[in-house]
Amino acid sequence: MWFGGLAGGGAGGAKAIFLRFFSRKCAPNLRKINPKVPPQEAASIAEGLYHVIKQHGPLTTPNTWNHVKEAGISGLNSKTHMKIMLKWMRGRKMLKQSCSQVGSSKKFFLSTLPEAPQTDQSLKAAMELDLQTDKSSRKKKKRAL
């Protein structure tokens, strides 16, 4: 093996696993990103950014900034603030980022996640049905006792 262990030995295999495990970087916790605006304003900015990206397809960050300036989304102070908001949206699973190798460089594209076939109304109805089922099962349990 490349680190001086025995070739095919049991101790060398454990060493290799240990080395691989600790050489990896931890994934950044995107949920802890601070959008630097109140939650209501962050939600409205995120909605505007989401519609821009959904309407124009997968976009790079500079292209997103150009479309956002044209759309006139209020609340965004700068391109840096937009990048923070995009990172915050990725942490909330609103957007996904994909990478494309172009020659010796990479391009990162932002796109929306595929939407679930359920609408908001059907989702609320399903939640109410689950709550009613839970309540009725609790009543049956109380009666059995």
CATH of the domain at 71: 1.10.10.10
Q: How many domains does the chain have?
A: 1
Residue 7 within a domain: no
Q: Is residue 118 pLDDT above 70, yes or no?
A: no
Distance CA 104, CA 100 (A): 11
Residue 38 within a domain: yes
At CA 111, angle to CA 109 and CA 117, rounded to 5?
Answer: 160
Residue 15 within a domain: no
Average the pLDDT over 75-87 and give the result.
94
9 band by pLDDT with thresholds 50, 70 and 90: low
Residue 131 within a domain: no
83 band by pLDDT with thresholds 50, 70 and 90: very high
120 band by pLDDT with thresholds 50, 70 and 90: low
Average the pLDDT over 6-23 and give the result.
73
Residue 6 within a domain: no
**Domain span at 65:** 29-113
Q: How does the average pLDDT of the chain come out, rounded?
A: 79
129 band by pLDDT with thresholds 50, 70 and 90: very low
Closest CA to 47 of 14, 22, 76: 76
Q: Is residue 21 pLDDT above 90, yes or no?
A: no
Q: Is residue 41 pLDDT above 50, yes or no?
A: yes
Residue 63 within a domain: yes
Cβ partners under 8 Å of residue 15, min gap 6: 1, 3, 5
CB 33 within 8 Å of CB 80: no
How many other C-beta atoms lie within 10 A of the C-beta of residue 13? 13
Indicate the SS3 state at residue 96: strand
Q: pTM to 2 decimals?
A: 0.61
pLDDT at 25: 77
CB 111 within 8 Å of CB 98: yes
Residue 58 within a domain: yes
Residue 65 within a domain: yes
